[in-house]
Amino acid sequence: MSVIDLPSPESFALLVIVILASIVLWDAFWLTKQTRDVPSFGALPKGGFAWASEGAHEVIRQWGNLFSMAAMMSLPWALISLSKTPIIYAIVWDILLALHIISLLVPKRYAVTSTHLFADGQRYEWSKLRLAKKQPKRRIMLLRKGWGVFGPLPLGGSYHDLEQAKHAIARFYQADNESE
């Protein structure tokens, strides 16, 4: 029987750090696009609406992710001594996750138009989204079709902005259903 050679703890730690750094950079790239995609706020042509959230709205929107990030920050510390991995990898891991948490809390720009939703620097066609049957009180919850449990797309903002966005979304879905 042969023994499988596993990668060294340093090699595996470096791979995980590179993957996390790629995710953080990818999210930062999309965040930089949001100002270009949603340059102004308020009523848009053809019944659309654009708005911005504040940090508190993003905490409400991202609460589950924030708890997950906190758990992920503590995880390497329990395993580092067992695997004899240099502590620098855990420190870099925590720094990258802290940057990711900051990116989650940065106020976002949103817009709904007759054809697309603009959220998190990305553009989603309405045909690829659906409203969740049960809506939370302080967010709008959309679901990405075909994504399963990875599909929730919550939208944050003030109560007034979310109410206007809900009405615009309802109009666009109603118009889409009437055209079919």
What's the pLDDT at 121?
A: 85
Specify the number of domains making up the chain.
1
Tell me, yes or no, whether 143 lies in a domain.
yes
The answer on pLDDT for 90 being more than 90 is yes
Tell me, yes or no, whether 37 lies in a domain.
yes
Nearest to 77, CA basis, from 62, 63, 87 = 87
Question: Tokens in use for 26?
Answer: 């990818």
Rounded to an integer, the average pLDDT of 10-23 is 94
Tell me, yes or no, whether 3 lies in a domain.
no
Tell me, yes or no, whether 142 lies in a domain.
yes
The total of other beta-carbon atoms located within 10 Å of residue 89's CB is: 19
What's the pLDDT at 21?
A: 97
Q: Which domain holds residue 138?
A: 9-179
What's the pLDDT at 155?
A: 92
What band does 135 get if pLDDT is binned at 50, 70 and 90?
confident
Rounded to an integer, the average pLDDT of 45-53 is 91
Tell me, yes or no, whether 1 lies in a domain.
no
Tell me, yes or no, whether 59 lies in a domain.
yes
Tell me, yes or no, whether 4 lies in a domain.
no
Tell me, yes or no, whether 2 lies in a domain.
no
